[in-house]
Structure 1
Amino acid sequence: MRSAIVLGAGMVGIGTALHLQQRGWSVALVDRGGPGRETSYGNAGIIQSEAVEPYAMPRDRAALWAIATGRSNDVHYELRSLHRHLGPLLRYWWHSGPRRHAVASHAYAGLIGHAVPEHAALIEAAGAADLVRRDGFRVLHRDRRAMDEAVAEAERLRARYGVRARALSSADLAAAEPVLKRTGAGAIHWEDPWSVRDPGALVASYAALFARRGGTLLRGEADSLAPAGRGWSVRTTDGTVEAAAAVVALGPWSPALLRRFGYRIAMVRKRGYHRHWRNARTLDLPLYDAQNGTVLAPMAAGLRITTGAELAGPDAATGPVQLARAEAAAAGLLDLGGPRENAPWSGIRPCMPDMLPVVGPAPRHPGLWFHFGHGHQGFTLGPASGRLLAEAMSGEAPLVPPAPFRPGRR
């Protein structure tokens, strides 16, 4: 029987482990904590099938100036730490050019088209349907110009990719979400995405499915990964585990581990925050406030308010400037009540400069496989890209052309 160690029990690692398991592999899933307790826990809980084009870096002067001067809440940065991000950010800017972004979007759309079907199969098998709604989410636009631009963009994506959206007037949004005190110029209702009321619980349900099917869940430190005979080994609390293959699915921690093996991987590390509000009047569906870069997501723990991207040093203290702005903006939309947590949650999104996840074999180490760098969409893409990797490891025909996602690309 073929064997593998999967390092990282977030959505990406779990998706990989389950697909390998389905193909007859013996899999040990190793993480320092419980399944889905890092980045996979902290997102807005949306399986974003409408996100057919990856997030490009703004290239117009007005948007860049708004970020530079701190007027945009989409991005916040620590000036003293910006030099750490400069190389990956310059490559991100280069890859965001229209021609290169179009090429990346073609590959990205092909993969994300499989996101909902792959989740659907796992949700059914895991018995997790109670965690999921299949009614989409809405994007609020506060002024008429922004709304008109959003309508045109939705029509472009419909024509090109077939994604479904409806334009809601201010009155339509008020009827759909009566708790809102203001409804701006209206909203775009993306109809195909699914929303999850507890992202961490969904990952945990997938992990429980993996265990029921005979998989092994272990606590261990990824930095103990080492070659062993014809395979790989890692130390766990249950002793050393060996397997023929090892998969690095550690999200933002992947480059640090792989540096030990001679791989220098550029990554844009975007910190994000959230906090729950326990007495907030409940929204029906998640609402993205485009002007303020925040998602208001109804969750089991309360209304989750999330932020955009913060560029800070790896050891920088949390400084939720964006979250404070997001909470103030949310308070203008609905009655929040009180926060559930005194201190907000924070985590890191692992974004590759070319905006595509890394999925495939290590260039110089047989039996070592890479699976990370999903940016804002690890929760969405984990099962689909997990299938793509498992197919490559098993010698099967790939779900989508794998070349755009290969390690070592430029």
Structure 2
Amino acid sequence: MAELKADVVVLGAGMVGVSAALHLQRRGRDVILVDKNEAAGEETSFGNAGLIECASVFPYMFPRDVREIVQYAFNRSPQAHYRLSDLPYFLPWLVRYYLASSPARALHSALSELPLIQRSLIEHEALIAEAGVPELLRRTGWLKLFRSERSFANGVKEVERASQFGVPSEVLKPSAIAAREPHLSGDFTGAIYLPTPEFVPDPGALAKAYTALFKRKGGRFLVSDAKTLEQDAKGWRVRGAAAREAVVALGPWSDLVFRRLGYSIPLGVKRGYHLHLAPGGNAVLHEPVLDSDLGFVLAPMNRGIRLTTGVEFARRDAPPTPVQVQQALPRARALFPLGEAIDAKPWMGARPCLPDMLPVIGQAPRHAGLWFDFGHQHHGLTLGPATGRLLAEMMTGQAPFADPRPFAADRFG
């Protein structure tokens, strides 16, 4: 097969890579989108809770409460789990994560990412309209449930902080929870409803819809191995394609490329699991629901009710250990009527994270024509189109809508 040629080759067809390809295409670039899979959105972008989290002003930082840290250390927290055998692998990264989560540094991360969060839903709505898939966006908001007085008080403090940045919320009493979601059961102290985030009932399908739009506009999709990327006199070449510029948007696998090129960016992963179940009887769930104290989300996907877990710290490619699914399943059944599992086994994915919970966006410091767009932590679905726009503006010499300096690859030294 003859080698394809273009202006830009984008490595990775998850939400982040597809969005970058679309924004580059919109600005006149001929783009080839490369992925190891035959279709887009088959990896991390497939498995999330489906929320476009435009209300999530503060990133998911390492806790500073000693009681929470002790729970994590002894694997007693439903929000997190770790494999003891992998501790030497992820502990150095975890220390950097803890240090980056100091109040001052966490606030810096929040303010740096704020323009992207505020732009996230706007960019998605524009792409969804252009792709012609309005059914893949539901204006539901989402609900956070609290069982203890302490967790509820912390949740209220969090939304009070977010309100300073224009994030609306409703604090609900237990009776209001029952009125909103009559099929939920449990002893709750209260809840918080966030009305502005919108819900995608099939995140993988949304990535595929954006890719179909990319193809309709003349873009090309190539199945190839990103690890074959190499620089030559004319630019960049990956097996089957050549271009003047290349974008690394491989999410948790980005290190397979940047490490070969001499970069030591501290990319870590937080693994996660999900399982689809049929709703029991005539039970209906109207919006995604987080059980804050028990550490799981139920989301009404097209495939069924998706049970998603907290984070697992382990090697990215280690065998699955769906302990959190096993722990959450009886608790989820007590919260909402659930029937049989639809999936044969739990799905596992990996969230790509930097210690400061900010993505890497921008030009590679030591290679002309090489660009990075990865590390979106828990917000790949949310931020993909916004960071794609920011990257495309930088690559085409336009004024960026947000300050790109906090996302520079060389911020880690």
1:221 equivalent in alignment to 2:220: no
Amino acid at match of 1:52: V
Question: Which residue of the partner structure matches residue 179 of structure 1?
Answer: 183
Q: Equivalences for 1:46-195 in 2 at 5 Å?
A: 46-158=51-163, 160-182=164-186, 184-195=188-199
Structure 2 gap segments, 5+ residues each: none
In structure 2, distance between residues paired with 1:392 and 1:230:
21
Out of 397, 405, 410, the position equivalent to 1:408 is 410
Q: CA deviation at 1:332?
A: 1.0
Question: Which residue of the partner structure matches residue 316 of structure 2?
Answer: 314
1:12-33 CA-to-partner distances (Å, cap 9, x unmatched) read 0011000000000000000011
Matched-pair contact (CA < 8 Å) for 1:228–1:242: no
1:179-226 CA-to-partner distances (Å, cap 9, x unmatched) read 112251221001110001100011111111111111001111101111
1:35-55 CA-to-partner distances (Å, cap 9, x unmatched) read 001000000000000111111
In structure 2, distance between residues paired with 1:88 and 1:109:
24
In structure 1, distance between residues paired with 2:118 and 2:258:
30
Amino acid at match of 1:250: L
State the secondary structure of the residue aligned to 1:164: coil
Q: CA deviation at 1:315?
A: 3.5
Matched-pair contact (CA < 8 Å) for 2:140–2:286: no
Question: Which residue of the partner structure matches residue 247 of structure 1?
Answer: 247
Amino acid at match of 2:401: L
1:230-280 CA-to-partner distances (Å, cap 9, x unmatched) read 210111xxxx21110000000000012211111112122111000000234
Matched-pair contact (CA < 8 Å) for 1:167–1:188: yes
Q: CA deviation at 1:311?
A: 1.0
In structure 2, distance between residues paired with 1:227 and 1:151:
51
Out of 341, 344, 347, the position equivalent to 1:342 is 344
In structure 1, distance between residues paired with 2:310 and 2:225:
29
Matched-pair contact (CA < 8 Å) for 2:148–2:293: no
Change (3 A) 1:29 1:2: closer
Matched-pair contact (CA < 8 Å) for 2:277–2:338: yes
Matched-pair contact (CA < 8 Å) for 2:316–2:350: no
1:56-102 CA-to-partner distances (Å, cap 9, x unmatched) read 10122101001111210111001110111122111111110011111
Judge which range, 397-406 or 324-333, deviates more: 324-333
Matched-pair contact (CA < 8 Å) for 1:5–1:29: yes
Q: Equivalences for 1:264-275 in 2 at 5 Å?
A: 264-275=264-275
State the secondary structure of the residue aligned to 1:113: helix
In structure 2, distance between residues paired with 1:176 and 1:186:
12
In structure 2, distance between residues paired with 1:314 and 1:27:
29
In structure 1, distance between residues paired with 2:386 and 2:392:
10
In structure 1, distance between residues paired with 2:187 and 2:214:
43
Matched-pair contact (CA < 8 Å) for 2:136–2:202: yes
In structure 1, distance between residues paired with 2:307 and 2:176:
23
1:157-199 CA-to-partner distances (Å, cap 9, x unmatched) read 10x2110100111111111111112251221001110001100
Question: Which residue of the partner structure matches residue 306 of structure 2?
Answer: 304
Matched-pair contact (CA < 8 Å) for 2:265–2:409: no
In structure 1, distance between residues paired with 2:47 and 2:284:
19
Q: CA deviation at 1:143?
A: 2.1
Out of 268, 273, 284, the position equivalent to 2:286 is 284
Amino acid at match of 1:400: A
**TM-score, structure 1 as length reference:** 0.97
In structure 1, distance between residues paired with 2:409 and 2:76:
36
Judge which range, 223-232 or 7-16, deviates more: 223-232
Question: Which residue of the partner structure matches residue 261 of structure 1?
Answer: 261
Change (3 A) 1:135 1:92: same
In structure 2, distance between residues paired with 1:314 and 1:117:
32
Matched-pair contact (CA < 8 Å) for 1:44–1:297: yes
State the secondary structure of the residue aligned to 1:208: helix
In structure 2, distance between residues paired with 1:80 and 1:66:
18
In structure 2, distance between residues paired with 1:148 and 1:59:
16
Out of 327, 332, 335, the position equivalent to 2:334 is 332
Out of 4, 10, 20, the position equivalent to 2:14 is 10
Q: CA deviation at 1:2?
A: 7.2
Amino acid at match of 2:9: I
Judge which range, 6-15 or 274-283, deviates more: 274-283
**Identity level (%):** 47
The count of aligned residue pairs is 405
In structure 2, distance between residues paired with 1:386 and 1:315:
27
